[in-house]
Structures are given as C-alpha cells and as structure tokens.
C-alpha cells in the first residue's frame, strides 16, 4: 500500500517539476532551462532538508507537534549569522569565503543546538507543554536578540543578514547550491543508515535501551544532522516556520507507518510536491500575488493549532 | 542468577535504594513487592541499565551490567518498562518484531521471523497480528508488549507491573504464560507486582522492599505473614492459607 502511494507521489512530483521548468517559458531556452533548473534543485534540497529534519526531531522528542522551526533552530541560525556580522562587520564577513562563513555558521548551530536542545531533551521530554513553551520562548529570544543586534549594526551591513532573516523562495541563494547539495546528500546518507535505529528510538528511551540502543547517543547524532539540515535550508531560502509540521503531518496521514524508511521518503516527496507545486502556482499562475511562504505558514499554523488542541503527542 | 551488591541510588536528596545486596536465583519467577515508592521499579531499571548505576554493582549471569555493551546486554536480558506508550500506528506484529532488533538490527532473517511467529502464537496473538495497537483492549495490548519482550529470547526477563489495567482473566492468563515460560523454557522472570495474591500464587521467590531496603525474601509461603504485612505495607490485613498458598483478605 505504502509503495503505491510513494510511486504516485513521485509521479506527481515529476509532473510538477516538468511544469515548473517549461510553463510560461518564453525566450532563449539555453538560459531559461539552467536558470529554472538551479531554482528547482534548490527547492528540492530545501524541501528534503526541512522534512527530514522535522521527522528526526519528532522522533527524538517523541511527539508530533514539535519541529526544529517551532523550537527556534532556524532563528538560532539567523542569530549566529547576525552575531558574526556584528563582530566582524558586514564587509569583513563578505570578504571571507562564503564556504567558510557557511561552515562556521553550521558548526556554531550544531554546538548551540546540542547545548540547548540536548539539555532540554534530557530534562523535559515527558512534559509536552514545557517543551513547546521552551521552544517558543527560545525562538522569541533568538529573534529578539537578532532584531536588537540588527538595530545596532550599520544599515549597509544589515543587508548581509537581511537576506537570511525572511523566507524567500523567489530569491534563492544559489551560490551555496553546490556545497548545500553535498552537505544534504551526506546528511541524508547518515539519516538513511540510521533509519532502523530511528524506528527503535521512536519507542522511547526506556524501550530503546532495553533493545540494545543508546538513546542519548542517538539523540546527539540526530541533533547534529538536524542542525546541518536546518543550516542548509535557512542559508538557501531563510526560515520557514511551519513547512516541516505541515508536510510531516500529511505524510503520517497519507502513509501511516512507524517505519522511518517509509516516513522519511513520504515526507520528503510531499515536501517537494508542496514547494515545487506551490512555487509553480505562485510564480506561473498567480504571478506572485500570494507569496508561497505566507500560504505555507498560514496552513501550517492551522495544522499546529489543530494538533495542539487535539493534544497529539504521539 | 542476578547478583546485586551494595547498591544505593538517590534521586536528589531522596535515598531511593540503600545498600541493597540481593541474589535473584536462576530460573523461576521472582516477585518484587513493596509499598508505593519502596524502590521496586528503580531496582528493575538499574538491573536493565535504564538508569545509570551510582554505587554498587549488578551482575546478570556473567555480565557486569555497568560495563557490558548495550547489544550484548539486550541479548541476555529483556525488560518491559512501566511506561510502554509507543506509536499508535504500530501493528502487533511490528511491535513484537522489535524484540528481535538486538539480533537483526533492522534486517530480520528467517530465524527472526520464526521466533516472531512463535511469540505471537505463545501469547495467543496470531489472530491479532495485523491489528493496530490503538484498536486493542488494554489486556491485548499488554500481552503484545510481553510477547515483544519474550521474542527477545533472553535468559532473563524483567517486567515492571505487567498486570496493570488487566482484569482477573487477563491477569491469570498472563501469569500462567509466564509460569510456563519459566518452567518449560528455563527463563528467569523478575516481576514487579502490587497484587500480593498474584505474587503468592505464581512466584517461586519473593523479595519485599520498604524504604529502599530489602525487608524480606524467600518463598512466598515462608515470607508472607501478618507481621510481614504490618512491617512492609503498614496494614493490619490478615493472611490466610489456601492449599498452603498465602491469601490476603482485605
């Protein structure tokens, strides 16, 4: 049953990808096709990164409401970037190789998330409301600190961090596409190797320990992978609050399973369909009258509220 | 056998276990009893390394629990923790299959499938194998969890309050299955229990804890007396005997 649905989703995605490439294309195809292909590749990368990070996060926290975005991961990424601009100056940062900036941001995000969320996971796992509230408070704190620092830096330097502060599917930072692709593929390789362990970790720390797993080690590995994936998506298109929650909730609905091999694939396909299909409609049909990030956050926000009111932890 | 030496455990300022030394014999059913907060579940968690040791040592057979690799421990000792809330979309077969994870690590062999089928059959779960856990009664669910622990095929099986939420028929059926496992297959089963009557009827060995210390141990018929109820449970209920088995009338 799941295999058929996955194949159907793959077919829909292929159709949307072709439509995204050719719909409304006028002029020189030698320019249009590579231009659109680059954007399509970035959309697919972001979609897979966000959905995979969300599945991982929901597995290690054992609830279906929390996502890295809700817990403030991407806000933390923007804060780290802002601090870098504040300390080094915008020009100083621009003079550094983009790869170095990207690498340092990612490493900082990994360390900060291990410190913050690793501690939180050890202490507050059983208390959903405490986890959600802590995440919201962290998110608000990171955003407030970012806003505070952005007010203190030179307006010209502000432009360096501005691009990373808002979701923008029309202005994808394609300079980082190659390194993002390599990082994402490597991370996905690790996640795929972990898929059976994730099935066991989802049973909870006690049962996982009883089955010979080491939950704490699994959580740390997952947090590192999540931080890398969040870095990729935030660097490419900026923070997207509710995409992960939306697509993983849909994946659990369409392919209800406890097997991460199926869940990860399903969530990635749905995420790609939502982003590529949504961006195609937004750009080619609505001519950007309704920005995709607003629509995703609007629908995703409702899903978040519905899940919260329903009390769906597991 | 399970050898526990000088085991102490504190949670904050609360001393949960205090210098516990105990030998749980190989084979048979050992019941851990005691009032709420006596330290029974903590003791079980420490034996299975769900909780890290603070002081003292635990040996399960030849394995030093604090040092042996996780997967080796999982192939020698299985535990059903008190909190067993798992993903509701799991089927009974999927849940029981997890019992084989310490062996196959996600790639089950034909031997694993055989053991999974045997566990389903031994716990009368074959007709329910493809049912989702959410659709089962409390008793059926509990049987599925115990079957998962059984499928782990370990010499030592620890169960933390497996009779919770079970009616009398389901409780009897589960205890009879456990007795069969211990007698026919030589498994050592340690069960945390609240119902003393079940402990007296089915356990071969009884260990009573109170305020983190061992207060009594031995065969239930020798241990469970009016004085025992008074000192361990602070109750004046009376012990009677039916076919030499102690029965507590409340």
Per-residue pLDDT tens for B130-176? Answer: 998 888 888 888 889 999 999 999 999 999 999 887 888 888 988 99
> Cα(B79)–Cα(B91) distance, rounded to whole angstroms?
20
> Which has the closest alpha carbon to A40: A276, A216, A224?
A276
How far apart are the C-alpha atoms of A65 and A191, rounded to whole Å? 21
**Structure tokens of A90?**
């915008």
- Map out the domains of chain A as residue ranges: 2-11+34-313
Query: What proportion of chain A, given as a percentage, has pLDDT over 70?
Result: 86
pLDDT at residue A122, rounded to an integer = 66
Domains of chain B with bracketed CATH: 2-249 (3.40.50.300)
Query: Which residue among A195, A206, A211 places its CB closest to the CB of B74?
Result: A211
Over residues B67-76, the pLDDT tens digits come to 999 989 999 9
Residues A143-167 have a mean pLDDT of: 76
A205: which chain B residues are within 8 Å (Cβ-Cβ)?
A: 50
Report the relative pairing of strands B213-218 and B205-210 from DSSP bridges.
antiparallel
Residue A285 in tokens: 């049909």
Distance, CA of A257 to chain centre:
22
Per-residue pLDDT of B103-128, as tens digits, reads 999 888 999 999 999 999 988 899 99
Q: Lowest-confidence range among A144-158, A238-252, B39-53? A: A144-158
Alpha-carbon span A143 to B116, nearest angstrom: 51
Residues of A with CB under 8 A from a CB of B: 195-197, 199-200, 202-207, 209-214, 252, 256-258, 314
DSSP A17-52: HHHHHHTT--S-HHHHHHHHHHHHHHHHHHHHHHHH
* CB-CB contact of B250 with B237 (8 Å): yes
Cross-chain residue pair B105–A209, CB shorter than 8 Å: no
Which of B101, B103, B108 would best serve as a mutation to test chain A binding (most A beta carbons within 10 A)? B101
Residues in chain A closer than 8 A to B101 (CB atoms):
196, 200, 211-213
pLDDT tens-digit map of A239-290: 787 889 889 998 998 898 889 999 999 999 999 999 998 888 887 777 765 6
B 70-89 → A contacts, CB under 8 A: 70-75, 78-81, 83-89
What band does A125 get if pLDDT is binned at 50, 70 and 90? Answer: low
Q: What is the pLDDT of residue A165?
A: 65
A214: chain B residues, CB-CB within 8 Å = 70
- Read off the pLDDT of residues A179-191 as tens digits, 9 standing for 90 and up: 889 989 999 999 9
CATH, domain range A2-11+34-313: 1.10.3470.10
Give the gap in angstroms from C-alpha B103 to the nearest C-alpha of chain A: 9
When pLDDT is cut at 50, 70 and 90, the band that residue B13 belongs to is: confident
Q: Is there a contact between A196 and B101 if contact means CB atoms under 8 Å apart? A: yes
* CB B77, CB B158: distance < 8 Å: yes
The torsion angles phi and psi of B4, rounded to 5 degrees, stand at: -115, 125
Residue A302 clears pLDDT 70, i.e. is over it: yes
pLDDT band at A129 (very low <50, low <70, confident <90, very high): low
pLDDT of residue A164: 62
């Amino acid at each position: 049953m799941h295999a058929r649905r996955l194949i159907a989703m793959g077919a829909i995605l292929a159709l949307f990808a072709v439509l995204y490439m050719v719909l409304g294309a006028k002029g020189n195809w030698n320019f249009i096709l590579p231009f659109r292909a680059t954007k399509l590749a970035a959309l697919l990368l972001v979609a897979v990164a966000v959905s995979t990070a969300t599945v991982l996060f929901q597995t290690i926290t054992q609830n279906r409401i929390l996502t890295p975005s809700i817990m403030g991961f991407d806000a933390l990424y923007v804060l780290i970037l802002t601090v870098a601009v504040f300390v080094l100056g915008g020009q100083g940062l621009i003079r550094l190789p983009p790869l170095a900036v990207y690498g340092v941001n990612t490493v900082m995000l990994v360390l900060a998330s291990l410190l913050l969320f690793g501690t939180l996971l050890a202490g507050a796992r059983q208390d959903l409301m405490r986890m959600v509230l802590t995440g919201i408070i962290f998110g608000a704190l990171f955003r407030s600190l970012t806003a505070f620092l952005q007010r203190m830096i030179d307006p010209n330097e502000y432009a360096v961090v501005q691009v990373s502060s808002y979701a923008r599917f029309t202005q994808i930072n394609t300079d980082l596409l190659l390194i993002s692709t390599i990082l994402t593929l490597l991370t996905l390789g690790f996640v795929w190797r972990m898929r059976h362990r994730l099935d066991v970790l989802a049973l909870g720390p006690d049962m996982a320990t009883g089955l010979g797993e080491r939950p704490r080690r699994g959580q740390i590995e997952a947090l590192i992978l999540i931080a890398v994936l969040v870095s990729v998506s935030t660097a490419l298109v900026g923070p997207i609050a509710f995409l992960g929650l939306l697509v993983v909730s849909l994946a659990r609905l369409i392919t209800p399973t406890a097997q991460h091999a199926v869940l990860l694939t399903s969530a990635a396909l749905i995420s790609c369909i939502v982003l590529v299909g949504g961006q195609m409609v937004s750009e080619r049909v609505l001519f950007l009258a309704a920005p995709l990030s607003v629509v995703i956050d609007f629908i995703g926000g409702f899903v978040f509220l519905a899940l919260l009111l329903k009390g769906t932890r597991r | 056998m399970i050898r526990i030496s000088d085991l102490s455990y504190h949670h904050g300022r609360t001393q949960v276990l205090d210098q516990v030394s105990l030998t749980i014999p190989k084979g048979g059913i050992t019941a851990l009893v005691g009032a709420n907060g006596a330290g029974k579940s903590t003791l079980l968690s420490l034996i299975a390394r769900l909780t890290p040791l603070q002081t003292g040592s635990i040996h399960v057979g030849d394995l030093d629990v604090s040092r042996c690799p996780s997967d080796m421990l999982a192939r020698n000792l299985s535990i059903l923790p008190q909190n067993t809330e798992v993903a509701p979309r799991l089927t009974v077969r999927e849940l029981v299959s997890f019992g084989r994870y310490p062996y196959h690590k996600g790639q089950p062999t034909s031997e694993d499938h055989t053991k999974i089928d045997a566990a389903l059959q031994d716990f009368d779960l074959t007709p329910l194998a493809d049912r989702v856990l959410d659709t089962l009664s409390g008793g059926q669910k509990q049987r599925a969890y115990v079957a998962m622990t059984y499928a782990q095929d370990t010499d030592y099986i620890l169960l933390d309050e497996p009779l919770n939420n079970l009616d009398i028929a389901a409780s009897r059926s589960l205890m009879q299955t456990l007795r069969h496992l211990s007698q026919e297959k030589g498994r050592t089963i340690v069960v945390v229990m609240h119902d003393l009557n079940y402990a007296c009827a089915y356990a071969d060995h009884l260990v009573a804890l109170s305020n983190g210390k061992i207060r009594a141990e031995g065969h239930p018929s020798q241990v469970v007396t009016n004085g025992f109820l008074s000192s361990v449970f602070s109750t004046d209920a009376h012990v009677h005997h039916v076919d030499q088995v102690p029965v507590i009338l409340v």
